[in-house]
């Protein structure tokens, strides 16, 4: 449901002329803010935060688009919007009372002199400065000056309060007191606010939503994070909320990812695309998530398979699967390791994104995931699906229990949902499934924010070895040999660089063959442990690749197929099953042309040519029915229905 249009930032662009040409500071920024809502805007320096705030304030004009406040277009500054700057900007020859009265006397002329005096006195008291009312700015502290600035802004009763890093120059104690005063004032008087900040903790403490800006030039809203922390808030209570560190982790990962992209953009600007022989583009950037099954990409770099096929590849470690998707949409990644359903999700324009047609030429890995539950559940008698159902029935339903998955269109989500449903636990009714980046799973489990998760390694094994969780079931026992990660590229890219696409597929096929050999698994685990890749102790990585695999229950798995890198054919039947799950769980509606769409997305001809040129056994696309552990059968020869 869309927010009431109290304030609408309507597709704003801001461009500045420079000697080198036009500089695009902001590009297509669109946001709707509700009455009484507190918005924080974060991003690195140069992302246009203050420029956007100035446009809303009427201190600057948009080059395209505009600002609408309460149904009126904002074209100039006005008393309906008041700005509190990092620099308090008090007039040094006026007292505290006189600084506040200056605006009140000009804006609230309809009030009597006595009424205006009372307004000034009330706002001085509101910020706790009654004793300093007749002091000059030089006679009060920096924190007190900032409180005067807030009181001055609020005294003329603005409809919108705009804050440009108002606490950035203050010490921690003063900043904390002012933050809590600001929250109390905004809540009491239902004041809408928009604040620019670099401080992620401040953003979470104060905001109902956090707006994350991408790097400039052409900065835009990269992500919007809703902050469901209950109000009224205090800093000490907020940091103990089970959701706090998950939310903070998302903000920090977004900012770190933007910092990385800035460095990579600088590299790209320095390096021209190199062409080698028939390969149209040899310098490639590939995205991956720090998981054990990123091994084919790492091995292709470390063992020279990319170089053998004429490719100079840079691997970029991404913080989340949503960052991978953003990198593909923005063209910053040539290709990426992807969860199975991501190419379909991008192609179909899930989550209200514009459709981005994708291609998949091979499967990178199979199996490799597990469902891990908190150790405290095991200590309370939860050992399997049936005891989990009984445990959930004992919980207070004021708050829906939560489990983590890595992406809405991942096998983790679909297999966890199928497993829960088979045991009489209805996803979205009995338990909420929340998307959490893999590196944040353990922190959420530790904080008690989630009961468990479905994820790849090393995050299950780390939970077991640190006695924070136990593996209730491996996904290979739900669907033996299930597809897991795939190679995803944009369709436009595949058509523009067909020889590069073929070379990329061939290099990764050879890397998968190397990874599948068990004699290489210890070496691979040690390589993955490095700081450029998983940056983790190999004791957490090795069990998922080479075993033995401790479940944390006194039982151990000795099964080589826990993580597989063979059977790389992009089978139509498997991706059709994934589409059926996306429809079943209301991620996307069933497209009428789904058969043609899937066949166009799967680059079977590229895979077949790569296999032939590598002199590997020929492949065919299997249409064999898929049978899951509970006896459920999926027949890919039957048409799907919505």
pLDDT above 60: residue 276: no
Phi/psi of residue 626, nearest 5 degrees: -100, 125
User: How many CB atoms sit inside 10 A of residue 306's CB?
Assistant: 26
Buried (b) or exposed (e) across 539-575, using 16+ Cβ within 10 A? ebbbbbbbbebbbbeeeebeeeebbbbeebbbbbbbb
pLDDT in the model for residue 174:
66
Q: How confident is the model at residue 572 (pLDDT cuts 50, 70, 90)?
A: very high
Residues 78-93 pLDDT 10s: 888 888 776 667 888 9
Mean pLDDT of 61-66: 89
- Residue that the structure tokens 């530790």 belong to: 446
CA–CA distance, 597 with 575 (Å, rounded to integer) = 11
Task: Report yes or no: 315 and 288 within 8 Å, Cβ to Cβ.
Answer: yes
3-state secondary structure of 314: strand
**Residue 501 corresponds to which tokens in the numbers above?**
């696409």
pLDDT in the model for residue 82:
80
Of the candidates 214, 107, 218, the one whose C-alpha atom is nearest the C-alpha of residue 154 is: 107
pLDDT in the model for residue 352:
86
Q: What is the pTM (predicted TM-score) of this model?
A: 0.67
Task: Report yes or no: 546 and 521 within 8 Å, Cβ to Cβ.
Answer: yes
pLDDT above 70: residue 271: no
pLDDT above 90: residue 123: no
Task: Report yes or no: 96 and 135 within 8 Å, Cβ to Cβ.
Answer: yes
Task: Report yes or no: 409 and 582 within 8 Å, Cβ to Cβ.
Answer: yes
Residues 580-638 pLDDT 10s: 999 999 999 999 999 999 999 999 999 999 999 999 988 877 788 999 999 999 999 99
Residues 324-340 pLDDT 10s: 999 999 898 999 999 99
Strands (E), 528-637: 549-550, 556-557, 563-564, 626-627, 633-634
Q: How confident is the model at residue 264 (pLDDT cuts 50, 70, 90)?
A: low
3-state secondary structure of 92: coil
User: How many CB atoms sit inside 10 A of residue 61's CB?
Assistant: 14
CA–CA distance, 561 with 471 (Å, rounded to integer) = 17
pLDDT above 80: residue 166: no
Q: What percent of the chain shows pLDDT beyond 70?
A: 95
Which residues, other chains included, contact 487 with Cβ-Cβ below 8 Å and sequence gap of 6+? 335, 336, 337, 338, 360, 361, 362, 364, 504, 505, 508
Q: In what order do the strands lie in the sheet with 81-85?
A: 81-85, 160-164, 192-196, 38-42, 209-213, 221-226
Residues 453-510 pLDDT 10s: 999 999 999 999 999 999 999 999 999 999 999 999 999 999 999 999 999 999 999 9
pLDDT in the model for residue 417:
97
């Amino acid at each position: 449901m869309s927010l009431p249009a109290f304030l609408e930032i309507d597709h704003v662009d801001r461009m500045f002329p420079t000697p080198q040409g036009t500089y695009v500071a902001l590009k297509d920024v669109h946001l709707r803010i509700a009455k009484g809502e507190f918005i924080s805007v974060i991003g690195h320096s140069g992302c246009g935060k203050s420029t956007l705030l100035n446009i809303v304030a009427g201190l600057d004009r948009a080059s395209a688009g505009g600002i609408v406040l309460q149904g009126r277009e904002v074209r100039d500054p006005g008393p309906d919007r008041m700005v509190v700057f990092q620099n308090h900007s008090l007039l040094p020859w006026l007292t505290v009372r006189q600084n506040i009265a200056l605006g009140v006397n000009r804006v609230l002329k309809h009030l009597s002199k006595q009424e205006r005096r009372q307004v000034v006195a009330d706002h001085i008291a509101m910020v706790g400065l009654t004793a300093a009312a007749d002091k000059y700015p030089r006679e009060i502290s920096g924190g007190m000056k900032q409180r005067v600035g807030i009181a001055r802004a609020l005294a003329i009763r603005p409809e919108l309060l705009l804050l440009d890093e108002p606490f950035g120059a203050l010490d921690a104690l003063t900043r904390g007191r002012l933050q809590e005063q600001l929250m109390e004032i905004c809540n009491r008087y239902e004041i809408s606010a928009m604040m620019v900040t670099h401080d992620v903790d401040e953003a979470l403490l104060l905001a109902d939503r956090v707006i994350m800006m991408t790097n400039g030039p052409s900065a835009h809203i990269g992500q919007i994070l809703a902050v469901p922390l209950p109000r009224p808030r205090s800093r000490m209570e907020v940091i103990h909320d089970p959701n706090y560190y998950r939310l903070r982790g998302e903000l920090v990962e977004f900012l770190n990812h933007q910092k990385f992209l800035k460095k990579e953009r600088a590299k790209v600007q320095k390096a021209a695309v190199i062409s080698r022989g028939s390969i149209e583009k040899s310098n490639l950037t590939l995205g991956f998530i720090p998981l054990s099954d990123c091994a084919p990409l790492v091995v292709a770099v470390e063992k020279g398979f990319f170089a053998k096929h004429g490719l100079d590849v840079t691997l970029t470690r991404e913080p989340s699967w949503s960052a991978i998707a953003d990198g593909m949409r923005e063209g910053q990644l040539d290709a990426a390791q992807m969860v199975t359903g991501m190419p379909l999700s991008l192609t179909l324009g899930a989550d209200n994104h514009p459709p981005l047609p994708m291609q998949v030429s091979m499967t990178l890995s199979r199996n490799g995931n597990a469902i891990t539950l908190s150790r405290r559940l095991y200590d309370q008698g939860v050992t399997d699906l049936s005891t989990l159902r009984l445990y959930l029935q004992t919980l207070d339903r004021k708050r829906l229990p939560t489990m983590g998955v890595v992406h809405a269109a991942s096998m983790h989500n679909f297999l966890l949902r199928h497993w829960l449903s088979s045991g009489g636990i209805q996803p979205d009714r009995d338990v909420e499934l929340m998307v959490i980046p893999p590196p944040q799973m353990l922190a959420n489990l530790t904080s008690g924010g989630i009961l468990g998760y479905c994820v790849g390694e090393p995050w299950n094994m780390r939970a077991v070895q640190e006695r924070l969780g136990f593996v209730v079931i491996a996904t290979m026992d739900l669907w033996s040999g299930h597809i897991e990660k795939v190679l995803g590229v944009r369709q436009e890219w595949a058509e523009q660089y067909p020889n590069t696409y073929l070379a990329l597929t061939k290099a990764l096929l050879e890397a998968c063959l190397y990874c599948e050999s068990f004699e290489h698994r210890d070496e691979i685990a040690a390589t993955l442990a490095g700081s450029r890749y998983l940056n983790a102790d190999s004791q957490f990585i090795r069990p998922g690749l080479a075993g033995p695999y401790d479940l944390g229950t006194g039982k151990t798995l000795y099964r080589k197929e826990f993580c597989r890198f063979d059977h790389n054919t992009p089978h139509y039947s498997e991706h059709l099953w994934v589409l059926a799950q996306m429809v079943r769980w209301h991620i996307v509606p069933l497209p009428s042309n789904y058969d043609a769409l899937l066949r166009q997305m799967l680059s079977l001809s590229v895979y077949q040519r790569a296999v032939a040129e590598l002199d590997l056994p020929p492949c065919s696309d299997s249409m064999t029915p898929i049978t899951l552990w509970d006896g459920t059968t999926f027949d890919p020869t039957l048409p799907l229905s919505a």
